[in-house]
Every structure is written in C-alpha cells, then in structure tokens.
Structure 1
C-alpha cells in the first residue's frame, strides 16, 4: 500500500484473531499533508510558514464536514513536534511518522497534545482548566497543543475567558480550532487566529481517491459508480468513504464489484438515462408519457424530489454546455452527447424558464403533503409553459403591431403552407370562409371544433367591445388571461383559415354570454312567478319554491 494513500488512526498492529473492523473513513485518514485531498493552497501556506519559522500561535480551520479539519489539526501537531528519525529534527511539513511524538499523536496518547470536543465541554470551567494548564511547559514535546473541535459550540463566557490567553499565549502553547460554522465564532476570536478555509473536495478528485481505495481493498468498482458516490458526498471525503464502505458491503452480498446500478438503488437516486428520457418527454409536450415515466421512477422507490433535482441538474448541465464550459469527465459519454444536442436545439430563455419552473416545483414537492401528486402537477405545468410563446418575441411582435397571435406556437403551426391540391379540370376561385356573424356563433363554432375549455373561458369571461371579423376588441376591465387571447387567435385561424386579431380596450363592453344567458333565464323565471296560477300557488303554500318550469333555460 502506498504511503500517500495509507492513513491509519494508529500504527499497524500484529494480526490477532477477532480484531474489530475499521471503517474506511478511519482506515484511510490522511497521515501526511501530501495525502490531504484538494487542500494544496493551505499546505503550501503552512509549508512556507514552517520553513520561515513564522508559525502562528492559533489556527482556525473551517469547512464543511469531512474535508479534513480534525485530520489537518493532528497533522499540524505532528509537524510542530516531530523530532525526526535521529531525534534531532525540528518542525517540518513532512513529519516522519515513526518518531515517538509522531506515533503518540497518531495514537491519541501524547500527553502534550490535548483534544477537546467543544460540543461536550462548552462551559467556562472547561476553559479555566485549559488556561491553568497552559501556564506549564510541555512535558515531552516541543509545543503543548490544544485541539478544540467544533469550537463554535463554546458558550459566550467560555469564549470571553479564552480571549486573553488566546491573544498572548505562552511561547510553548499552540491552539488549533476546527469548526463547520465559522459564522458562530465571535469576531474577537477570529481576529486572534490564522484562518484556513478548507475547500470542498472536487468530485473528480474524490472519484480518483475512491478508485485508489477500492484497489487497495481488492474490490472492483465501475467508474460511474465511483462518480455517483463522489457526487453524493458533496465534497466530503469522509461521507464518500462511508458510502463506499456501504457499497462494498452491498457488493459482497451480491458477489460482484460495486456497480452504478447498485449505488443508485442504495442511494435512492434516479437513473440518469431515465431522467434524460423524462426530460425529452417534457420538451416534446408528451404529458401522458411524462407522467408514466415519473410513476415508474416512483414505483422503483425514487423520491419525487430526487427526480426533480435530477431534472434540475440536467437543465443546469445543458445550460453550461450551451455556454461552452468544459465537459465534466465524470459524466457518461451518452449524457454529454445528449446535452450537446439539447444545447443546440434549446434557447437560453427556454432553459431559464425550465429552470425556474422546476426549481419552484422542487420546493413545492419538498413541502407538499402529497409529494408524487405535486410532482405530477409540476411536470404538467412545465409542459404547458413549454407551448407558450417566448415573452421576448411576443413583446417584439406586439411592438410591431402584429398582435399576440403572431408569435403563438399554435398560430405558427397553422401558418405553415398547406400542400398544393391535385390539379383538376376546372380551376375555380376558392370560396371565402364563412365568418361567424356574432360572437355567440363564434363560441359555438369553437365548441363544435373541439375547443371546449376555450369556449367556456370566452363565454364566462369575454366582454365584447367591438366584433368585426376578423378583429375582436374585448373589454380590459374584466381580467382575462393573455394566453386566452393567443389561444383564441390560433384556434380561429385553424377554424376559419384567416388570421384574427384580438386586443383589449379599457371600456365596459357588453355582458358576457354567460351573463346574458343568466339574465334571460332570470327574466323567464320572473315571468313565470308573475303568472296568476303561480301566484295563487305561492299564496296557498308560502314555503313553496319555484324549481322548474316549462322551457327552463340551462343557466348552469
């Protein structure tokens, strides 16, 4: 096993029966600065400081979980106290790992290197012990070192008690603080420390590290499986090694190596190919197919939020490809090819609209009482928005006076030239299409041609200011959706073969068809109530109500 990869909590011990298994996160904890992954800038700074004898008295290490904060603190402790193979060495960026101080620190038994968990030692009394003990020189090491993990958990009194000692500690004392929430550390403490921000480890470096670990463990692993684990780790080496440990155990039960399919199943991730198929269905406007694909993922045990997150990642990847960023080497070749194809076909406005819709849907599904139903509604909303005209093109068309119908997808498809008719013996001028004489006749024509929902929306919401086919002016005082205008224009173009122009005017307009129908029905009702026979019946039966009468109009 290579020295750069081998990282043990303790030196190798002779084999003995029944020895407890050490998880990979402990077994491969880095024991040299070179074994730290993705922290080259910090290592270079420490190397220069040690070489020039400019070692700070207090260090603050911050970063997300599992990037190596505590491991780095132990490495600094070894670097400052290493005496080398011959016992005469000084502080070095390359501790030997075999001298007594190095071994004792690695085993956690060095009397002058004190580790404390601030989560369980939060009070001022614990800090008083540190302050009192710091006055005395180190017993056997060059420096007495205090490593306080999760330092942000200390109480306000504990921080205040530590300030004076932290600012002017004895020359033989060094403080090493580690925290995942640096914003909770008082500014007075931050100003007294040399701060190192440990970066998230890139996914490609994690995948390389996991591949090396798998090789050392004698386990075969698919590159895609390691890439999935690296993505799931979110920059944390410890989290990734824990997932890899679980994946190896799963592979042992299956009698094979670590496969991408097994990792997806273990993590509950949506299959990348299934996500691409679902995105293709969304872009094609295939609502039944998209809902069926979502249900298949749900039946496989994939969480609906996971599906939407995967769709978000796909849209983000397509956008980056369209911008021209470097391709992710961890991506499968077929995924990169699909992203390139979509990047050429989709515009930036459409990609941004997809991102916003999916992001809003992801938040809704995460909070929904019915997650799968909320996810289905999100997909349907995306499909509907996909068919809407681009807002920029629509604004330009309105500026040119072409109206909303000029840019709607339906009118664009209807405007496509029809195939030329077959030649006949007698050529006659085609008769002009018959225009509906009234708005009510127009709504009836739309109903006949299958535009039921649109006809209902017009009958209930449209107030006519001017009806002069093929131009209609509607009242803007009654709210009416902009997409209703464009859809109506497109439907009328299909029905009549003529381009219609619909617009809004700030004028009262005539009553809607529904209001007119209700008015007629109410007039008939009042006429029936005014008849002598009905009045006589009402006087004889005061609690009676008029429910039905001959020729009653349907006012529902």
Structure 2
C-alpha cells in the first residue's frame, strides 16, 4: 500500500489586483512631479543648504500632487542612499529601506492622518504626545496631515505650541485644498507651497507617456480633450484616461477623440465652430438647427455654451498675439485667426458677456435647451446692432433717426440790465446773475430757490423747506446794485414751485424715458442685458435734441 497522497494541483498565485492609473503612475521622485518646478527648486536649495523648515503646507486644487509631494518630502528627508550612508537629498534613491517603506505606506516613523475623519482635539493630542519620542529608525519622524483645514478650532489651538517649537526630530507636512480655512496662526508657522494647476499641454504629454506605457494607442486630439477636461488635475485626467481606455476596449481600437467626446458629453469642436460662424452671420434658424443637432447627439446645452465661450476666448488670445495652443487642430487655429482679424476687441468682449450671461441663465433654467435657444437668438440679434457706446455716439451725432420728443420749454429771454426790463422768471433771474459775475449767488438760486410769487422787483420764496437767510439778504443787496432798483425779496412758510435743479432733474428723467422708448434703443437694451445709458451720454443726447429743436 502506497504511503503517498494525491494533493492535486499546486495552488496558483493570486493575480495582482488592478491598480487604477492615478495610483499606478503616482510620482515616485520629484522629477516625475509635473508642473511644480518652482517648488522643487525651492525644496532642493533648502535641502542642499540645510535650511529645512519644521513645517510645510501644500495647497492647491485637487489632484495636483499635494499628498504625493508630502510623501516625496518624507523620502527626501529620510533617504539613506543605496549604501546606507546618504543624507537628505532632493533625489531620493527609491531603493533604500526608508524610501521603499515610505512608498509602500508602511514606515513606522512616517504617520499619515486624514483630518477629514480625525477632526477632534483628541486626535491631535495623540500626535503631540507621540512627537516627544524620537524616531524609531528614520532620521525624522514625519506627520502628514491631509485636508488639514478640516481640523476643529480646538484641534488647531492644541497643535499651535508644538507646531511652533517641535522637537528637532519632527517635521509636519500639511496638505489642503482650502487654505483660506486654515487659521492664520497655523499658516504663519509653516513654509507654504502653492501647487499650481498643471497646464493642459503638460497633462497631454503625461497622458501620452502613460498610454504608451500601457500599450494603448491614443489620438493626440483625444488626449488634448482629456487634458482640458481635467482642469489642471493630473489625478482627474488619469481617471478620465482610465475610463477612455476601458471604453476603447469595448469599441475596439485605441482612444479616439470622437469616443472621448461621447463619453464626456463634450461638444464637438467642429460643430462649435460651425455654430459660432452662424451666430456671427446672424443666421438664427441655422444656429438653432445646429444647436438641436448637438442636443440630439446628447450634448448638454451648458457644454455648447462652454465651447462657444472657449472659442471667443481663443479668438481674443489670438488677437492679442498669444502663443499657439498645442491642443488645437490646424482647422481650429485657422478659424480663430480669421475671427480675430475680423472682430474688434469690443465685439469680442460683447460676445463674451452675452455668452457668460447665457451660461448663467441656462444653468438655472427649468427648460435648459429652450433657454439656450433664446440666449442664442439674443446673440444673433445682437450681432446686427452696434455696441451701446457706439449707439450712444450715433444718437449724439444724429446718425440715427429719432422720434421727435416733446418740445422743451422756450428758453427765457435774457433781460438786459436796463431799468425797464427786469428778469421776469426765476430762471431768467438766475441767468441774469450768472451773466453779471454773481455765479455763487446764481448757484444758490438754482439749488434752493422755491418760488411762491415772482413779479419783479417783488419776489416771495418758500421757507417751507430749508433755505439760507443769506440768500434773501444777498438777493436784495446785489439786485439793487445791478439793476438800480430796490427789490423786495421775502419768504413765506407755504409750499413753493420746484427749484430749478428739481425742474432740470424732472426734465432729464422725462427725456431719458423718451429716449429709452425709441425702438432702436429698446432693441439695443434687449440685446445687451445689463447695459445702461450713462449720464454723460444722456446729457449729450439732450443737448443735441435741444439744438435741433
């Protein structure tokens, strides 16, 4: 009888779990940290000169490398080199035990804490108590606190003293997306690094590298779309690329631009250019048909408006002579160059404001596609009108026909200083004083003289409202001197007529309403929401109307 046993097939090694691209390609050296050259240079100089701060704060939008930078700093400070004799370096070796342990998240002296789930003072007290003890095996004991702004006020206060005077073997590394929520008392104790959004062209280059490493073919335009959608975040972009690669596996072939657009619900840039051209041409029916085609393909109206905003912005940059965007196709560059040469800065600014308002309206509309259609029609209508400044100039110069407003009151006849012809109205009196060198007294009459009775040389002014006693006295004295007759200017505590200033204000308001009621002006204000008729322009138009009357 055999003593052997059949144990069956030997156990197969378990397949390694898939790691998403955002984790797989997390930077392991400062050289792999894209878009943060200024920070890397500063840290390198600090390490070389042994001028290391005891606390660092990394701030920036999501996915730009804040936590990765904190881990790299931990490596840089604790690296001992392949031979075990190295010191702090901006280029950690990645092969020594501290480097490998930190990369794998298992180093006993590098403690990571998520402040979002450890917000209380007790959590911070544990750090304070443990910080007194020396590092077990590393050069420095390092505390990495992610989303530090989530700590409570009491937790921050408990940390302050230790943060200001930590033991020599302790370093604090904080990361946050909302630095404005971190108390100033904490900020003043840290060396702060503001991590920038990563430029789209650098993201596209990085995604191309990742695609090659993954053995996936990807169109440059597709990578450019992903880079723009990432909005400066490497992690967001890699997540989108991961999804695009999975999508490509279903469709067959590599990562294509049209597939990325469908996946993200982006507006086709070619369709956006066609729509923009229709808007500039004033073709309302064609513009709405173009919008509906994109909507039927699943493109969100807000995405269409964002595409139009990007087009206006791109044309403006080209007009300014800015550098070429590597993510743009030849067709897009040619189109932008044509619009930049044909549109003024004022027109581009007007288009931007109209589209920006449309984006705001559509974002909160109960019927988004209908609101987008109405907004585009408003823009079509605006393309045939001059801008508000040019319209006001045209009105002032008489280049636009206007309905005749109500005839203004006849200007008073100025009376000479003859004995027999005295000023017969308060307006004539004010002009008489002004013409005879009494501008200050004429100004007082204009602003505060409310007439109850006027029959020169007897004048009664209302004292029902505040009036200077000097005005009555000065009028009696100066009018006698100028006319050679004795005037009797008195007051009565009864209501009087509006002052000359109040009459002018009422007349100006009446004329303003008449101007705003003109068809061409009404059309302009409907086309340019938020526009206003400036006081200086109103005065010019009123002066023109009076000269034509």
TM-score normalised per structure 1: 0.72
CA 1:218 to 1:16, structure 2 compared with 1: closer, same or farther past 3 Å?
A: farther
Partner of residue 300 from structure 2, selected from 292, 298, 303 = 303
Q: Is the 8 A contact 1:405 1:486 kept in 2?
A: no
Per-residue CA deviation, residues 65-110 of structure 1 (Å, 9 max, x unaligned), is 0000001100110111111111111111111111111111111111
CA positional deviation for 1:375 = 0.3
What is the distance in 1 between the residues matched to 2:81 and 2:267? 52
Partner SS for 2:171: strand
Q: Runs of 5+ in structure 1 lacking a partner?
A: 1-14, 407-461, 467-474, 489-501, 507-556
Equivalent position of 1:484 in the other structure: 519
Partner SS for 2:142: strand
CA positional deviation for 1:476 = 4.2
2:343 aligned with 1:346, yes or no? yes
CA positional deviation for 1:116 = 0.3
Q: Is the 8 A contact 1:59 1:175 kept in 2?
A: yes
TM-score normalised per structure 2: 0.73
Partner SS for 1:352: helix
Equivalent position of 2:410 in the other structure: none
Q: Is the 8 A contact 1:124 1:155 kept in 2?
A: yes
CA positional deviation for 1:158 = 0.2
What is the distance in 2 between the residues matched to 1:86 and 1:352? 62
Partner SS for 1:404: coil
What is the distance in 2 between the residues matched to 1:138 and 1:318? 58
Q: Is the 8 A contact 2:34 2:202 kept in 1?
A: yes
CA 1:205 to 1:16, structure 2 compared with 1: closer, same or farther past 3 Å?
A: farther
Per-residue CA deviation, residues 218-257 of structure 1 (Å, 9 max, x unaligned), is 0000000000000000000000000000000000111110
Per-residue CA deviation, residues 140-163 of structure 1 (Å, 9 max, x unaligned), is 111000000000000000000000
2:307 aligned with 1:272, yes or no? no
Per-residue CA deviation, residues 361-398 of structure 1 (Å, 9 max, x unaligned), is 10000011111111011001101111112334334434
CA positional deviation for 1:404 = 1.7
Partner SS for 2:26: coil
2:151 aligned with 1:154, yes or no? yes
2:140 aligned with 1:143, yes or no? yes
CA positional deviation for 1:17 = 3.6
Equivalent position of 1:207 in the other structure: 204
What is the distance in 2 between the residues matched to 1:394 and 1:158? 60
Equivalent position of 1:245 in the other structure: 242
Partner SS for 1:175: strand
2:279 aligned with 1:259, yes or no? no
Equivalent position of 1:313 in the other structure: 310
Partner of residue 188 from structure 2, selected from 186, 191, 194 = 191
Partner of residue 30 from structure 1, selected from 17, 27, 31 = 27
What is the distance in 1 between the residues matched to 2:207 and 2:279? 35
CA positional deviation for 1:18 = 2.5
Per-residue CA deviation, residues 269-294 of structure 1 (Å, 9 max, x unaligned), is 00000000001110111111111111
What is the distance in 1 between the residues matched to 2:315 and 2:199? 20
Q: Is the 8 A contact 2:147 2:175 kept in 1?
A: yes
2:391 aligned with 1:394, yes or no? yes
Equivalent position of 2:497 in the other structure: none
CA positional deviation for 1:16 = 4.2
Per-residue CA deviation, residues 179-205 of structure 1 (Å, 9 max, x unaligned), is 000000000000000001111100000
Equivalent position of 1:446 in the other structure: none
Q: Is the 8 A contact 2:405 2:511 kept in 1?
A: no
CA 1:505 to 1:395, structure 2 compared with 1: closer, same or farther past 3 Å?
A: closer
Q: 1:449-468 maps to which residues of 2 (within 5 A)?
A: 465=406
Equivalent position of 2:479 in the other structure: none
Equivalent position of 1:229 in the other structure: 226
What is the distance in 2 between the residues matched to 1:481 and 1:217? 64
2:392 aligned with 1:403, yes or no? no
Provide runs of 4+ in structure 1 moved above 2 Å.
15-18, 389-400, 462-466, 475-483, 485-488, 502-506
Q: Is the 8 A contact 1:285 1:384 kept in 2?
A: yes
Q: Is the 8 A contact 2:515 2:521 kept in 1?
A: no
Q: Is the 8 A contact 1:404 1:486 kept in 2?
A: no
Partner SS for 1:114: strand
2:370 aligned with 1:369, yes or no? no
Equivalent position of 1:357 in the other structure: 354
CA positional deviation for 1:346 = 1.1
Q: Is the 8 A contact 1:60 1:177 kept in 2?
A: yes
Partner SS for 2:84: coil
Q: Is the 8 A contact 1:204 1:330 kept in 2?
A: yes
Equivalent position of 1:60 in the other structure: 57
Equivalent position of 1:107 in the other structure: 104
CA 1:271 to 1:382, structure 2 compared with 1: closer, same or farther past 3 Å?
A: same
CA 1:16 to 1:27, structure 2 compared with 1: closer, same or farther past 3 Å?
A: farther
Partner SS for 2:232: coil
What is the distance in 2 between the residues matched to 1:219 and 1:384? 47
Equivalent position of 2:47 in the other structure: 50
Equivalent position of 1:76 in the other structure: 73
Q: Is the 8 A contact 2:516 2:522 kept in 1?
A: no
CA positional deviation for 1:327 = 1.6
What is the distance in 2 between the residues matched to 1:16 and 1:264? 40
What is the distance in 1 between the residues matched to 2:366 and 2:177? 32
Q: Is the 8 A contact 2:358 2:372 kept in 1?
A: yes
Q: Is the 8 A contact 1:465 1:505 kept in 2?
A: no
